[in-house]
Structure 1
Amino acid sequence: MKFFLLFLVLTLNSLLAQYPSLQTPESIGLSSEKLKYIDSVVNKNLNEGNMPGAVVVIGGKNGIVFRKAYGYSWLVPEKKPMTLETIFDLASVTKPVATATSVMILLERGLISLEDEVRKYIPEFKPYVDENGREYHAKIYHLLTHTSGLPDYTNADSIKAKYGYPAPEGTIETICNLPRFAPPGKEFKYSCLGFITLAEIVKRVTGQNIAEFARDNIFKPLGMNKTTYNPGESLKKFCAPTEFRNGKMTCGEVHDPLAFVQGGVSGNAGLFSTGDDLAIYAQMILNKGEYKGIRILGSKTVELMTSVFPKVEFAGRGLGWDINSAYIQQRGDIFEIGSFGHTGFTGTSIHISFKENIFVIILTNRVHPDGKGNVASLRRSIANIVAGSIIRD
């Protein structure tokens, strides 16, 4: 009996150490009763086959108030339950969390300016040329706001066929030479290529690729120990799978084709993380750049990132963040315009409100096993439940 009690105590202590303690929703002005509706909308989406499982984490600047895992992480070849430890391919949530944050760190260190033309760091980066031969050169802020004139994407198989695998240099060479569809600053087009280019700027300025720089300057200082590119074997066993690639279920390898052809390290996608790790990042943002005494960004920098950038206000974008563009489905209908976030193709999202001191993280692998899942409605529903549960003035 003594040994059983000792085992029980050690197990409980281990679990408590593993997961940060939950605060009450009421501590940040949310209704516990109303948050219970999350269970029903998640289970409805599970039953409809919109995703195999989900992890939902909600909190404020001082901690987590709701944390739950639902359904399964694996359906094929066998079912495995979703857990709070599950590591997800974040897809485009990589853009703000790794790439834009890294770029803003360089800005704060005086190593770049938002007004710098991309060609200052990547001389081979081609301009938009009009019918009169006049050249228009994109700047760093154009890349961050998806107003550079770059297309949205390009064919990864063509890059692999021409340059082999992996082809990070071939990818950036391809992007540099693609035709631009508009002069920079004139049109909004959501572009993975712009964020691949930003990661290349980070590499050329610092000598580190985006995985190394983000690890050393964001994730390691914050204690985000399960946030990484290309998870090693010790983390792979916790990863949620996505789809089949070459006859094998992809797990722990990036789903995005352009990130994959670069060897898994890219500015547009490639980051893997857990709900709890992303909650640390969200708390850092809500605390204007600081988490538990560790400062990653200055408060003014965070304000700049998370506000609509005035020079391209029509885009509805901050610097890496979506604020009021057509892609803002994770805001729902109730959260204020000015709250901000990002979604990922694999079924991930993060949304943050300074005004309400709330973050909402929804992680799914909706593309597993056949790419047919859809979590757009789930994102809106959970956002509305959380915003509707606010019980303070």
Structure 2
Amino acid sequence: MVFDNNRLDEAFNLIDKGIEDGAFPCAAVAVGNKSDFLKIAVKGNKRIVPYKEMLNRTSLFDLASLTKVVATTTLLMLMIEKGFISVYDKVCEYISSFNEKSKDRITIFQLLTHTSGLPAYIPFYKICRDYDDAIDYICKEVELRETKEVEYSDLNFILLGKILETVGGDKLDKLCKKEIFDPLDMRNTLFNPGNRDVVPTEIDKESGEVICGVCHDENARFFGGISGHAGLFSTIDDLVKFAKMLVNYGEIKNEIFLFYPLFKRMITNYTESLSENRGWGWVIKGNTAAGGDLFSKKAFGHTGFTGTSLWVDPEYGVYIILLTNRVHPTRENVKIIRFRRLFHNAVLASLDGRS
């Protein structure tokens, strides 16, 4: 399918309106298809307190929970391809202490689809000594919830990050760089960006300083900035490379990055009869409101707490990347939720399926 350029321009004008309405201070946006069509916009001020500073195309955004799919899920898929791990392995095969309070029955599949019964969130930075202590706390102290529904949980991906480090024999950041970011030429995608050109997030309540150069997520920051659930930073151009691989079913520049049978399994809806549609790591559109009104049922994507999102529609052959810092200067701003739906609708409405 091709885009009607005039209608797509109108869709991109919504970014200016989103900034004016205070949905976010800045945005880096990309829309593309399976071929070479690409439209990118970079607008607004990346910082508005205590002074204003314009967003650059090379600025790095805190991806928050996009880490779960760009880093952790993708690395797991590559490990599956190599025959190192299976989604039907039990978690306790890799973390031996994860065997109390019925946890010995939990599989990697359940972590990936958020059907493990682990709670959504625990403030480890308040109750644990360090990363290893948090893993130990999940294994020995946390109880599974009696639910057959999807319950989105950071704990699932904290455990997956630990499992991947065990399988790969190295830290998660190094494994992701070697297996994902270098092969896809994502040179500006990393954990712990430090003093690079980073988009600021929230004002820290304790210090009163704007968080910049370290991840916004308190647990991931407590873990040293590296975790399976959050901590990754990237640019709009790097995520375009990643999205082009996804929209082409695992291929990039006529080379296979993820093999087709694995890719298809990754984006299958395994929880269609439950409260939320989930593939391996990814949200599947199905009949839910996720992503907007016009994506096909086969579309898949994910969001990040800081105001980031990536959606791919394999049926229409398009992807939409929306990077914002909606938490700057405060996380109380939730206007992104509705804006995201409206913007996605306008972009998809510009597709001409008759061409």
TM-score, structure 1 length as denominator? 0.85
Name the counterpart of 1:76: 49
Q: Runs of 5+ in structure 2 lacking a partner?
A: none
Name the counterpart of 1:149: 117
The answer (yes or no) to whether the contact 2:311–2:319 under 8 Å persists in 1 is yes
1:312 Cα deviation from its structure 2 partner: 7.6
For the pair shown, the structure with the greater C-alpha radius of gyration is 1
Name the counterpart of 1:389: 350
In the TM superposition, what whole-angstrom CA distance separates every residue of 1:121-167 from its partner, at most 9, and x where no partner exists?
001114544xxxxx7611000000000110001013323xx41xxx2
Task: Check 1:313–1:300 CA distance in 2 against 1; reply closer, same or farther (3 A cut).
Answer: farther
Q: Secondary structure at the match of 2:86?
A: coil
Name the counterpart of 1:109: 82
In 2, distance between residues paired with 1:325 and 1:241? Answer: 34
1:232 Cα deviation from its structure 2 partner: 4.0
Name the counterpart of 2:321: 361
Name the counterpart of 2:73: 100
The answer (yes or no) to whether the contact 2:172–2:226 under 8 Å persists in 1 is yes
Task: Check 1:265–1:365 CA distance in 2 against 1; reply closer, same or farther (3 A cut).
Answer: same
In 2, distance between residues paired with 1:327 and 1:88? Answer: 27
Name the counterpart of 2:292: 332
In the TM superposition, what whole-angstrom CA distance separates every residue of 1:181-213 from its partner, at most 9, and x where no partner exists?
126xx2210001000100000011111122111
Name the counterpart of 2:244: 283
Name the counterpart of 1:343: 303
In the TM superposition, what whole-angstrom CA distance separates every residue of 1:78-137 from its partner, at most 9, and x where no partner exists?
1111222121000001111100111111111111111101000001114544xxxxx761
In 1, distance between residues paired with 2:248 and 2:54? Answer: 34
In 2, distance between residues paired with 1:367 and 1:84? Answer: 19
Task: Report percent identity of matched pairs.
Answer: 37
Matched, 1:52 2:25: yes
In 2, distance between residues paired with 1:127 and 1:385? Answer: 49
Q: Secondary structure at the match of 1:67?
A: strand
Name the counterpart of 1:196: 158
1:256 Cα deviation from its structure 2 partner: 0.6
Q: Secondary structure at the match of 1:272?
A: strand
1:42 Cα deviation from its structure 2 partner: 1.6
Matched, 1:174 2:173: no
The answer (yes or no) to whether the contact 1:128–1:180 under 8 Å persists in 2 is yes
Task: Check 1:326–1:198 CA distance in 2 against 1; reply closer, same or farther (3 A cut).
Answer: farther
In the TM superposition, what whole-angstrom CA distance separates every residue of 1:253-285 from its partner, at most 9, and x where no partner exists?
000111111000001111100111111001111
The one-letter amino acid paired with 1:152 is A
Name the counterpart of 2:253: 292
Matched, 1:224 2:189: no
Higher mean C-alpha displacement, 204-213 vs 312-321: 312-321
- For these two proteins, the number of residue pairs brought into alignment is 350
In 1, distance between residues paired with 2:186 and 2:32? Answer: 17
- Considering Cα pairs closer than 8 Å and 6+ residues apart, tell me whether 1 or 2 has the greater RCO: 2
The answer (yes or no) to whether the contact 1:348–1:364 under 8 Å persists in 2 is yes
The answer (yes or no) to whether the contact 1:222–1:294 under 8 Å persists in 2 is no
The answer (yes or no) to whether the contact 1:87–1:239 under 8 Å persists in 2 is yes
Matched, 1:118 2:87: no
Q: Runs of 5+ in structure 1 lacking a partner?
A: 1-27, 130-134
The one-letter amino acid paired with 1:204 is T
1:380 Cα deviation from its structure 2 partner: 0.6
TM-score, structure 2 length as denominator? 0.93
1:244 Cα deviation from its structure 2 partner: 2.2
Higher mean C-alpha displacement, 331-340 vs 312-321: 312-321
**Where in structure 2 are the equivalents of 1:29-68 lying within 5 Å?**
29-68=2-41
Name the counterpart of 1:16: none
The answer (yes or no) to whether the contact 2:272–2:278 under 8 Å persists in 1 is no
Task: Check 1:373–1:310 CA distance in 2 against 1; reply closer, same or farther (3 A cut).
Answer: closer
Task: Check 1:125–1:136 CA distance in 2 against 1; reply closer, same or farther (3 A cut).
Answer: closer
User: Per residue, is there more helix in 1 or in 2?
Assistant: 1
